[in-house]
Structure 1
């Protein structure tokens, strides 16, 4: 453990993490805390490998999952600084063999999830295309050309720029674009231009075949029993949508770079975190930027991204006003690292403390909001339940965007009241929705006439 936390805070943190790991059967964790350009805490907890009883350390390597997207986006920003690509450049400028449906897609739309591209369906044998979703066999290795061909089969969910949908395909293609520009895989470009210069000494592409010192093993829970994660073909471990290994110590240096950049100019850092806008001028419902999502906690801006792959989970959180960054890496697919990361941030900075369930003071209000949530989940929300402004905002795809981000059916999710202002007809309430590996937070504000004037969903 490398820690500059006050002794009592370090003890509280260790006790909290020990309790979480025991309660949720998490084999191992990596934790990084940085503030104002300084590393406060880097540590490993539990086991990196259960079979061999190997302890997790600050140098244990975990799989990035989709947190790797921020590095793919960072590579594009570095190429922009080099004058080799532009966010407004068209996808087909770099992959001209793509279908006509890609003609209007820009690099910015690939990175901000507004391209209209979606995701592959994970399969373990050849399967037909169903419900307009293209399957990809996780047990089959793929060439770059095969990945492009599969992506080309995927129909657009909407016209480029018209809406938002989380898209791994967009980042797979971005990784291939970087390779075509640089003449080397995107992760080699990152290693040379970012990882090595800023001190991310062990960060690298994921690999089944290489001997990788300090690599953790991924795990999953099945029927409450711990298992090794299933095998995945080598190519699909290291694509641009999230194919990296890194340690808690590596991420500490990444956070320092974001606070005190040496490889990026200020415009690039600002662009990295600024929510992208759809064609109608509205941001996506979760404020997706370039490999980061914008959220809030207790009124403070929160920038985050999570990841899941190969039996690992990862969560990166930044509170720019507080200059505080937290990362949690886990080698268990079901670990609720977003919730853990928020709890850690609150231990360090009480102003952003995690929301906790509070006593109900107005059961009728909760029932009214519960009915609204069920109506939204059933896609039958009434226009009369919203003010004109709120309805115009949400009826243009935001309902679908919110539902698309959940891991479970919102119709079956209980509401946990965590904050409220006002107990009359006019009020502002916040609920926590347990939706699988994440908690989603729902803020709903009503006027005196009972209509919704503002509503937001945020990932914890």
Structure 2
């Protein structure tokens, strides 16, 4: 017998379609989990608009910077294993760093407070050339002083994983967080790559939709480049909730706010956003994907889209959309 949508479920669907229309987003997938149970799931619109391919449970979306959810968790797995600590300095593992980088710690990388120049400027260069270019730049501020979103942090974490384990950060994520999954999960940073069930990306910044271009170099796959379906994401979230990926103590350490000299809400790896006075944790990527936990409500939301939630006076940005969906979801039985 088909499941009858409650009034609140219909309200969520209406809201999703409203923001989908206002942002001109061809397709998206939404899932909301509470107390380990899936209380709302929906697929909306088109994975590929040109050929009228609908979004399904198996549609694979690029996560963009939401990849950092899994990368930060991987770092805390190594901390749990005693292979490094939040206070470990980069020079404990990497001996070729500029002198000015020697006081940077793992905590500074996870909290985006390293003050390092951003390697994203050189992402079209081979790694050796990008490294040379970023090493030549001056450090921006004393580590820990303030939040400055920075892809160099995850490039360095990737190098540290290679040093400690002989594995890239991306390989470690696949090996430890997605072992034996039956769903497609892979790293690929080229939007032109042909992959089964892959959703096309769209640029919705003008009146006319165009294809969205992106390139993430393999040496910085810890910062972006993970692709998966909602099925795979939900399976991963179930393992996280069950304590199969990280202990309760380690997850609390990940969520612990980092104390900046210039105040900012962020943890040791994930964003910290207060919603109606309640702490929520997660990350967004490419203005198109979002993961958000609300531990006090035992609730998690996952949103995957193939175009951007760009805020203006008439429409909300991605964080505001997630906040509204979580507020609506509280009414679900």
Bin the TM-score by the shorter chain. 0.7 to 0.9
Asked if 1:241 corresponds to 2:216, the answer is: no
Cα separation, 2, equivalents of 1:4 and 1:317: 26
Q: How far apart are 1:324 and its partner, in Å?
A: 0.9
TM norm structure 1: 0.65
Q: How far apart are 1:334 and its partner, in Å?
A: 4.1
Give the 3 Å change call, closer, same or farther, for CA 150–32 of structure 1 in structure 2: farther
Aligned partner of 1:251 in structure 2 is: 233
Asked if 1:292 corresponds to 2:270, the answer is: yes
* 8 Å CA contact retained: 1:114, 1:161: yes
Give the 3 Å change call, closer, same or farther, for CA 288–55 of structure 1 in structure 2: same
2:296 aligned counterpart, secondary structure = coil
Give the 3 Å change call, closer, same or farther, for CA 343–118 of structure 1 in structure 2: farther
Cα separation, 1, equivalents of 2:301 and 2:3: 14
After superposition, residues 261-340 of structure 1 pair within 5 angstroms as: 261-278=243-260, 285-308=263-286, 313-335=288-310, 336-340=317-321
* 8 Å CA contact retained: 1:326, 1:345: yes
Q: How far apart are 1:60 and its partner, in Å?
A: 1.4
Give the 3 Å change call, closer, same or farther, for CA 183–211 of structure 1 in structure 2: farther
* 8 Å CA contact retained: 1:329, 1:337: no
Give the 3 Å change call, closer, same or farther, for CA 259–4 of structure 1 in structure 2: farther
* 8 Å CA contact retained: 1:175, 1:241: no
Q: How far apart are 1:183 and its partner, in Å?
A: 1.5
Give the 3 Å change call, closer, same or farther, for CA 101–78 of structure 1 in structure 2: same
Give the 3 Å change call, closer, same or farther, for CA 217–297 of structure 1 in structure 2: same
1:342 aligned counterpart, secondary structure = helix
* 8 Å CA contact retained: 2:119, 2:130: no
* 8 Å CA contact retained: 2:117, 2:134: no
Q: Deviations over 1:25-69 (max 9, x none)?
A: 111111121112223333321111122221111221111122111
Q: Deviations over 1:108-156 (max 9, x none)?
A: 11111121124346xxxxxxxxxxxxx32x5x3523x334333323321
1:321 aligned counterpart, secondary structure = helix
Q: How far apart are 1:4 and its partner, in Å?
A: 7.8
Asked if 1:213 corresponds to 2:212, the answer is: no
Note the residue ranges of structure 2 that are not aligned, 5 or more in a row: 311-316
Cα separation, 1, equivalents of 2:238 and 2:22: 32
Q: Deviations over 1:60-115 (max 9, x none)?
A: 11111221112111111111222222222111222211111111111111111121
1:225 aligned counterpart, secondary structure = coil
Note the residue ranges of structure 1 that are not aligned, 5 or more in a row: 122-134, 352-460
Q: Deviations over 1:384-406 (max 9, x none)?
A: xxxxxxxxxxxxxxxxxxxxxxx
1:142 to 126, 131, 134: 126
Aligned length in residues: 324
Cα separation, 1, equivalents of 2:117 and 2:209: 31
Aligned partner of 1:418 in structure 2 is: none
The higher-RCO structure (CA 8 Å, 6+ apart) is 2
Q: Deviations over 1:303-324 (max 9, x none)?
A: 232111xxx6112222111111
- RMSD of aligned residue pairs (Cα, Å): 2.5
Cα separation, 2, equivalents of 1:343 and 1:159: 37
Aligned partner of 2:176 in structure 1 is: 193
